[in-house]
Amino acid sequence: MKIALFNNRNDLREFIRKYGTVIGALILFIVFSLIIERFLTASNILMLLRQMSMLTIIALGFNFVMGAGGFDMSIGSACGLIAMVFALTLLGTGSLLLALSAALLCGLLVGLINGMLVAYIGLPDFIATFAVGSIIYGVKMLMTRGNPVSYPSDISPVFAFIGRGFVGPFPFPVIIMFFIFILTVFVLYRTSFGRRVYAIGGNPVASLYAGINIKKYRLATFVISGLSVALASIILTSRLGSAQPLAGEEFLLDVIAVVFLSTTMFGEGEPTPSGTFIGALIISMLNNGLTMLNVPYYFQFITKGSVVIVAVLLAVTLGQKLRIKFL
């Protein structure tokens, strides 16, 4: 029997193209709920949300870069550097405010460098941000010789709260995540800035001819990406209780997976905040569920890679144009 909802095959294709990823997320959720005993419990769901908060925040920042047609390969490296800068400032001065400012400043600086190289000097974004990531990696390893920076756990109760605190039943990072999500939606869809970011991604030449200073806007998207990495890095450092130079290195792979999923979602061909959120949910569910199933850690990489391939393949075979440019 035919499903009455779809009059013909094209409607069905269109539906899968738009909502395939969302349906995938739902199926994954249901399967995990059925086969993992403690998956569908309030505490696990909250933990899942807390785990995904950092990934989501970075991916939302990446959403701006990719919305304007760019790419940022430096996020993983930058995360560890910012954590070191943060911890060292906190240890050196004992002032949380100074440490937070230093971390955000560091994120801003990384974004500025990326943005200058890509938007103003005109280097290809993949190469420029990849090179910056490599430089950052060297700097942070030289700074610390690869050792973590620890600080006394009672150095700042407010700081501990950022990563580990609760407001009512909700972990504080989850609240930050939702706040950033709403802010992103607002900026991208309700402000002239967001409108122009997507316009530049849609057609940089036409945007230039319409009188938009596309260099300025592209620079700004990299700065936003840098700042969002800084925020995620602060939460991560607070959660771990020490600053690891290599912490967050795997964010790069996860964030790329998330934004690719986001790009294929809703048939838009460009990343959307809600797509990014669902993408982050899928990747985090995989991390969480596979860990609970005692699947070896490195197997998760195989799964994540496969998920991205399937999602992109679905979108491409169903005739959608992706806004992803290579070099």
Q: How far is the CB of 12 from other proteins (least distance, A)?
A: 22
Residue among 200 and 256 whose Cβ is closer to other proteins: 200
What is the token pair recorded at 86?
A: 């943060």
Please tell me the distance from the alpha carbon of residue 264 to that of residue 313, in angstroms, as a whole number: 9
Residues 177-196 that bind other proteins (CB under 8 A): 190-193, 195-196
For residue 23, give the 3-state DSSP assignment. Answer: helix
- By CB under 8 A, residue 208 contacts other proteins: yes
Residue among 250 and 268 whose Cβ is closer to other proteins: 268
Please tell me the distance from the alpha carbon of residue 73 to that of residue 94, in angstroms, as a whole number: 32
Q: In this structure, what DSSP letter does residue 265 have?
A: G
- By CB under 8 A, residue 209 contacts other proteins: yes
Residue among 25 and 188 whose Cβ is closer to other proteins: 188
Which listed residue (73, 83, 113, 212) binds other proteins by CB under 8 A? 212
Residues 97-116 that bind other proteins (CB under 8 A): none
Q: How far is the CB of 10 from other proteins (least distance, A)?
A: 17
Q: How far is the CB of 276 from other proteins (least distance, A)?
A: 18
Please tell me the distance from the alpha carbon of residue 257 to that of residue 284, in angstroms, as a whole number: 11
Please tell me the distance from the alpha carbon of residue 44 to that of residue 37, in angstroms, as a whole number: 11
The rounded Cα 105 to chain-centroid distance in angstroms is 19
Q: How far is the CB of 146 from other proteins (least distance, A)?
A: 42
Q: How far is the CB of 220 from other proteins (least distance, A)?
A: 13
Nearest residue to 155 via CA among 243, 79, 229:
243
Which listed residue (124, 148, 165, 202) binds other proteins by CB under 8 A? 202
Residue among 182 and 293 whose Cβ is closer to other proteins: 182
State the Cα torsion 230-231-234-238 to the nearest 10°. Answer: -160
Count of residues near other proteins by CB under 8 A: 22
Q: How far is the CB of 213 from other proteins (least distance, A)?
A: 4
Please tell me the distance from the alpha carbon of residue 289 to that of residue 287, in angstroms, as a whole number: 6
How far from 327 is each of 64, 239, 251, 253, 275, CA to CA, in Å?
Answer: 19, 36, 21, 18, 24
Binding mask 257-276 for other proteins (x = CB under 8 A): -----------xxx------
- By CB under 8 A, residue 152 contacts other proteins: no
For residue 99, give the 3-state DSSP assignment. Answer: helix
What is the token pair recorded at 25?
A: 């997320």
- By CB under 8 A, residue 210 contacts other proteins: yes
Please tell me the distance from the alpha carbon of residue 264 to that of residue 268, in angstroms, as a whole number: 7
Residue among 3 and 205 whose Cβ is closer to other proteins: 205
Please tell me the distance from the alpha carbon of residue 81 to that of residue 66, in angstroms, as a whole number: 23
Which listed residue (1, 4, 42, 205) binds other proteins by CB under 8 A? 205
- By CB under 8 A, residue 197 contacts other proteins: no
Contact positions toward other proteins, by CB under 8 A? Answer: 190-193, 195-196, 198-199, 202-203, 205-213, 268-270
